[in-house]
Amino acid sequence: MRKAPSLEWRWVSTEEDDEEDRGGGSAAAVDSVGRGGSFESEDDEDGEDDGDEDEEEEEGRKKRLIRTVPSVDWFDVEGNEVSVAQQVEDTEEFDFGRTMFVALQTLAVVFGDIGIGPLYTFDVMFNKYPIHGEEDVLGALSLVLYTLILMPLVKYVFVVLWANDDGEGGIFALYSLICRNAKVSLIPNQVHSEKRMSSFRLKLPTAELERSIKVKEKLESSLLLKKLLLGLVLFGTSMFISNGVITPAMSVLSAVSGLKVGIRNTSQDVVVMISVALLVILFSVQRYATSKVGFALGPSLLVWFCCLGGIGIYNLSLYGPTAFKAFNPLYIIYYFGRNPFQAWLSLGGCLLCATGSEAIFSNLCYFPVRYVQYMFVLLVLPCLVLAYLGQAAFLIANPKSSEQVFFSSIPSGVFWPVFLVANLAALIASRTMTVAIFQCLKQSIALGCFPRLKIVHTSRKFMAKIYIPVVNWFLLVSCLGFIVLFRNVYDVGNAYAIAELGVMIMATVYVTVIMLLIWESNIRKVLSFVITFLFLELVFFSSALSSVGDGGWALLMFASVLLMIMFIWNYGSKLKYDSEVKQKLSKDLMRKLGPNLGTIRAPGLGLVCSDIVKGVPAIFGHFLTSLPAIHSIIVFVCIRNVPVPAVPQSERFLFQRVCSRGYHMFRCIARYGYKDKKQEHHSVFERLLIEGLEKFIQREAVELSLQSEDDVDSDEEPPTPVKIIQAPNGSLYSLDVPLLADYVPSTPGIPEASCSTPQHDPVFDYGQNLELELAFIKQSKQSGAVYLIDNPIIKARKDSWFFKKLMINYFFAFLRNNCRRAIMLMSIPHSNMMQVRMTSYV
């Protein structure tokens, strides 16, 4: 059952409103209810009683809000929707065992990164700001505590988590959510699923709604703002992937560095070698960790957070409660007052306590928002606060022990067990960011901003559990490169802060747009949010950029390469799609050619594979002019992945007729779930397609027979006589139109090849036409199917500027030749495939 389409609001002038009123009162009222037309407020309804006062009020209005229903192509919508995609989680009853299971999984998947901040935060901070007294420690602790409260808790847990896109988190989810509510996407051919369309909700005109409409109109009318939004999301994604490369290097290196405390003579070379070995093991089992090992990691991280809290309580009881003074924010002012420049430099290290905040949002797709909020507030945040308080108490008593603060503060009797748990937590944190990168890249691939890669789904129950082999090994090589290049946590920490802040700033910008456009928040709340967090993040970012020479330069170069790849792919894909749309064959041309398409229609099934959902692709015209004959039945096939585990065979294909009945041309969307086997044999694919086509024709005939003659589609044309000849080999060829209009099978079974000439004028009989068309499909099936695949070569025009030629002719061509295509996943033999590489100049 189709849901009601989402309603749109727009402004109309008084003149337009008057014209609508003159069109008839009752009709307008019916239109407003039945078709979502003009909305009339209570003041307008009471206007007849109020008399002249309301008339003067109406004349004074220049604009009025009306409600409209956007046009929807249901064939495109249903192409992304199957019946098994319905959500059932909301109807499940409370289960304590399942709740505890999800809670442990939340710890392992969401909070692994932010949980290892105590390993290195104070080390990096006091590397920039030496300790001269108790006030320095209290000032640094106060800065850490309020950063931890403002960034992860207030911003991400309380605000940003609610900006998810149907449960999906991450920087691309924010962009996708904006694109679904305003036409700002520069990414072509994006079709939204029906389940993402909101049901009807009546919204009364308010100041917030008016502001939302103005923001929407501004975004949709400004090409500069559209490009800016896309550029920011690409930049944020490149920084997030860079963050995922730095996280394993930073976490594992800082955890293994604890050996220097346990074994005094341990050299840095040994630490680096062990870190490299652990990372190789981690990324080698990453595919299995995504699904099977994930449950074991939850209890491990629970033990880690208990260790953090327990060690913090031990140090507070041993060295006194002086550290609690840091909850007074005045110590931050004192901290900057004693040495402003060094305090500013230490801000980059202070932000490391909040690293992993973006991972909380990016990994949201695994769990409900409430689970994440409860776990952070009730367990994660208290343990982190106790850990930092305990370390500060240790530093106040031992001001010269500013290196390896965490491991130095561990009681000697439990050092090695905690050391092992810390290394396990570091590996879990590395896995957390890797999984978040997989999700981010999956979203960017779906939006056409990254080359298509092989995505392996490791769980049949949870769609979000994925593994991308190429990205996994790429991250491993990059992590090892950063560790070998910098070799210590201080330089890696400088790069870490830059990457984290780049993502945070982009998230602030996009959430601000969402608050104005979608949430319709009060302007005071919006200004408070954007001013507070954007100011803080820019101050932190300026401090992190001051350390570019100490390690940040490598990260910026790495992020620049990723940004260039995404920009080139998006730019080239957009040019390719625009070129294909412009070159589409028009319906008028198809009518002029006639049902025989200006050539001979030979028996057989031609499957024209293309990425275009609407219209006839230009490559089909190339086939018409180059081939001596074309198949009697043409199906334009588009492969589409839908967000469900498996699509039932009965719902695999959606069909739509192209042109009139006599052309025997259809459009088909083949839908696959993420666990469906796409490497199926071509004969199985053809059999399922033909069965679906026959069912479509039968259902169409029933629907047409129930309609009156006036309700028939304007493209429908009554059958006309046809001339069919028989070749020496027994094959049938059509020399006139339409195909097989008078062809009558000699037996009730599968028709034999024979000649037929018209003996009388055709009668518009749906039953007879259904029988003839089904018989014709069986005849074409016996003749075999051929896959006509378009694999164009994209080149820049000769008069293009140099950089465009460089990007399109070389970089984009390289990326496109090495990415995956949906149609190539099926095992199609070369004898049944005709692939054409036609050059298109853009």
Please give the full DSSP string across 79-94, using - where no structure is assigned: TT--GGG---GGGPPP
| DSSP-based three-state secondary structure for 496 | helix
728-749 mean pLDDT: 39
Higher pLDDT, 456 or 642: 456
Lowest-pLDDT choice from 118-132, 543-557, 727-741: 727-741
Lowest-pLDDT choice from 141-145, 277-281, 677-681: 677-681
Contact 383/306 with Cβ under 8 angstroms? Answer: yes
| Rounded Cα gap, residues 357 and 733, in angstroms | 67
381-389 mean pLDDT: 94
- Using pLDDT thresholds of 50, 70 and 90, give the confidence band for residue 429: confident
pLDDT at 461: 63
What count of residues does the chain have? 842
Contact 640/669 with Cβ under 8 angstroms? Answer: yes
- Using pLDDT thresholds of 50, 70 and 90, give the confidence band for residue 632: confident
Closest CA to 475 of 424, 434, 423: 434
> Does 570 score more than 60 pLDDT?
yes
What predicted TM-score, i.e. pTM, was given to this entire model?
A: 0.74
Q: Which pair of tokens denotes residue 718?
A: 């009554």
H or E element, residue 638: strand 629-641
226-254 mean pLDDT: 90
Residue type, 88: V
| Rounded Cα gap, residues 208 and 204, in angstroms | 10
pLDDT at 386: 95
| Rounded Cα gap, residues 418 and 45, in angstroms | 72
- Using pLDDT thresholds of 50, 70 and 90, give the confidence band for residue 594: confident
Lowest-pLDDT choice from 309-313, 462-466, 576-580: 462-466
Closest CA to 110 of 157, 78, 163, 76: 157
| Rounded Cα gap, residues 102 and 219, in angstroms | 39
Share of the chain above pLDDT 70, in %: 73
385-393 mean pLDDT: 94
81: left (phi over 0), alpha (psi -120 to 50) or beta: beta
| Rounded Cα gap, residues 540 and 680, in angstroms | 53
Q: Which residues, in sequence order, are CB contacts of 277 under 8 Å at separation 6+?
A: none
Q: Which pair of tokens denotes residue 75?
A: 């064939």
pLDDT at 44: 38
Q: Which residues, in sequence order, are CB contacts of 70 under 8 Å at separation 6+?
A: 5, 6, 8
Contact 576/605 with Cβ under 8 angstroms? Answer: no
477-494 mean pLDDT: 85
Contact 645/613 with Cβ under 8 angstroms? Answer: no
Closest CA to 208 of 528, 515, 529, 522: 522
pLDDT at 747: 37
| Rounded Cα gap, residues 168 and 157, in angstroms | 15
> Does 466 score more than 50 pLDDT?
yes
pLDDT at 14: 43
Most confident segment among 365-369, 388-392, 594-598, 661-665: 388-392
133-144 mean pLDDT: 91
Higher pLDDT, 196 or 184: 184
Q: Quote the mean pLDDT of the chain.
A: 75
Contact 89/303 with Cβ under 8 angstroms? Answer: no
The structural domains of the chain, ordered by start, are 111-188+208-573 (1.20.1740.10), 594-706+765-841 (no CATH)
CB atoms within 10 A of CB 123: 24
pLDDT at 22: 41
Burial of 487 (0-12, 13-18, 19+ CB in 10 A): middle
Query: Distance of alpha carbon 785 from its chain centroid, rounded?
Result: 35
Tell me the per-residue pLDDT of 326-351, one tens digit each, with 9 for 90 and over: 999 999 999 898 888 888 988 888 99
Q: What is the DSSP letter of 69?
A: P
